[in-house]
Structure 1
Amino acid sequence: MEEELKHLLTGQPCPPIKGSSLPLGKNRVLGFNMCYVVVGVAIDDGKVLMIQEAKPSCRGQWYLPAGRVEKKETLIDAVKREVKEEAGVDFEPQALIGVETQGMSWVRVTFSGKVVGGKLKTTSEADKESLQAGWFTSDVSRLPLEIPLRLRDILPLISAGVETQQLISAGPVVMPTPVAYVSTSLKFIILQDDGSKLCVLQAKSPAGTFLPFSVDGGFVFRKVAVEVMKNNGIEQITMDELEVIGVLSVEHDPVGVDCIRDGVCLTLLVRSAAQLKGGAWVTLEDELVIERLRTALGKGINCMRLLNY
């Protein structure tokens, strides 16, 4: 169990449990029943990189560089391409800072990063991707007064980008882990914390992972967590007794064995508010695992925000 947690918390693919495999769900195919959107947040000297939209529905309004992931494209490659196409600059993603979901087939991930080259797109270079790019205040209380925004949903992302850039040198941060999944999946790190020790719930019948696991179970995360816990021996539990802290890992690799593995797996950190009866609880002893989890429980930058649960 602790070896798997160490891999997850350090961004390494987890070796499968010998003699078992993860359960399979609905095959996700990009462009058919799966959509990923990437967003790039670049902060520099109190300003954020923005692009002016060219789409007829929002032409002239401003937004963060963002767009859909293409077939066989990693999340990192996708955000680099989108920022280059829309803003004209070279973007180096440094940390995942946010995850949003809609249903089972739409996931948006946001990267914080820095500009390392290129030049801002000007109006003379306007195309279907954008009209121009520019730097504006990263103060989210003032930004809507400076420029007309396409949507205000980017304001929490900008705030997260500012916070991450201030802390990024301290680490650790989260970046995508290259693991291929067929389906939309969730792993749960469910903790009980009495202040002196951390205990994590182990799957009753481990299948590819020691962690409780859900395939195509939905993205109402506390509801799925309750169902998963009941399936793993915790009979008396309600959503009100659980706190979803955030996302500790995003596993995604579009180039699987058959090149159509467009699924994703999110690892969620969940804290129980009560000492629960039943289930197989493992007391953690590895110092690195404990330190990383306590940092995440404090909502450090190794724990991505969930913006819609």
Structure 2
Amino acid sequence: ARGIDPKVSNDFGPKIGLNVTFIVTAIVFNEQQEVLMIQEARSKCAGSWYLPAGRVQPTELLETAIKRAVLAESGLCFEPISIIKVESSHGNWFRFVYAGRITGGQLKTASKADEQSIQACYVNDVGQLTLRSQDCLPLIEFARDYYRNGKSWHSPQLICQRYVPNLYMRLIVTVWDGKIGKHRVLIAHSLSPHLPICQLNPTRSVHSTLKRFMQYIFSGNNGISNNSVVPPHKPIGLIAIEYNYAKQSDQYDGLCLTLLVHCKSADSPVHNSFTWITLSDNGEQLITEKLSSRHKTIAHSVL
């Protein structure tokens, strides 16, 4: 069921603060379409500006972390509505970008400066600020589009709170079958039928793991990835994100990303552990919707 060998030690287990990092970031606008920014207090970037953000702590849910971070840095109570983007660097650093609304609190002023931040304010022209990093600029414009045109995006979606024992990527690999006028989906049929899933290599990018997994899937009956002929395909976006923190000392802070991938053809032979199936009417409706626009799935990018 795990598919490819991630080529990491069998002893590896993701632990927040030890060998994996989860960052949460909030992007929220006021009625004047100004974006909430905070002025950093940390010595290495003191005085510069950035979006409200923070590291997820051990035994903390992601939604709890973003509420804590926004309150500590801006003085405002934030209610997350949806994750709109996930960014990753290697397979052990992830940033979750949230859209949401302010439900209370008082905007922090310089008189309330502490180790979390100097102050917070709503900003019209972020480009005029001294920024901690320019990488927030495309995120702000991405979120602005979500707030303006949310009805054409995916429905609000938060983390599925489900314990995952490690770092995984689950694939929904689709292809259009013109003969029957429906999409087909690839499933693994070892043990019981399920969507293909593999462990993420914490030292390699998510795209690198995807490439190796697709080579394994389309390696034909010989199972030799080096001889595989992978059909042209495109990662569309994330369908679901599963996470829950370890509740016992022998558990890990795992994560599972479910990625939709669309293939142009099903001509390439698949490994004998996989097969194509035809979708039910409900499944067909869901996949057709998700493929209809780039905003119908949660965006994912590799930094």
TM-score, normalized by the shorter chain, greater than 0.5? yes
In structure 2, the residue matched to 1:36 is 22
Q: CA deviation at 1:25?
A: 7.6
Equivalents in 2 of 1:167, 1:258: separation in Å? 44
In the TM superposition, what whole-angstrom CA distance separates every residue of 1:234-280 from its partner, at most 9, and x where no partner exists?
54434x82211111111000144557420111111111133333331
Q: CA deviation at 1:190?
A: 0.9
Do structure 1's residue 148 and structure 2's residue 130 form an aligned pair? yes
The number of aligned residues is 282
| Residue among 34, 50, 53 paired with 2:40 | 53
The residue type equivalent to 1:87 in the other structure is S
Taking structure 1 as the reference length, the TM-score comes to 0.82
| Residue among 195, 206, 210 paired with 1:211 | 195
Distance 1:206 1:150, change over 3 A: farther
**1:145-184 matched pairs, under 5 angstroms:** 146-168=128-150, 172-184=155-167
In structure 2, the residue matched to 1:276 is 267
Q: CA deviation at 1:304?
A: 1.4
Q: CA deviation at 1:100?
A: 1.2
The residue type equivalent to 1:155 in the other structure is L
User: Which consecutive unaligned segments of at least 5 residues does structure 1 have?
Assistant: 1-19
Equivalents in 1 of 2:281, 2:213: separation in Å? 25
In structure 2, the residue matched to 1:308 is 302
In the TM superposition, what whole-angstrom CA distance separates every residue of 1:45-78 from its partner, at most 9, and x where no partner exists?
2111110111122111110000100111000000
Distance 1:237 1:299, change over 3 A: farther
Equivalents in 2 of 1:206, 1:302: separation in Å? 32
Give the secondary-structure state (helix, strand or coil) at the position aligned to 2:43: coil
Q: CA deviation at 1:291?
A: 3.0
Contact 1:39 1:108 in 2 (8 A): yes
Contact 1:201 1:211 in 2 (8 A): yes
The residue type equivalent to 2:232 in the other structure is E
Contact 1:87 1:132 in 2 (8 A): yes
In structure 1, the residue matched to 2:209 is 224
In structure 2, the residue matched to 1:261 is 252
Percent identity of the aligned residues?
A: 29
User: Which consecutive unaligned segments of at least 5 residues does structure 2 have?
Assistant: 221-227
In structure 2, the residue matched to 1:80 is 67
The residue type equivalent to 1:32 in the other structure is L
Contact 2:36 2:123 in 1 (8 A): yes
In the TM superposition, what whole-angstrom CA distance separates every residue of 1:20-41 from its partner, at most 9, and x where no partner exists?
9999983111111111110011
Contact 1:250 1:265 in 2 (8 A): yes
In structure 2, the residue matched to 1:90 is 77
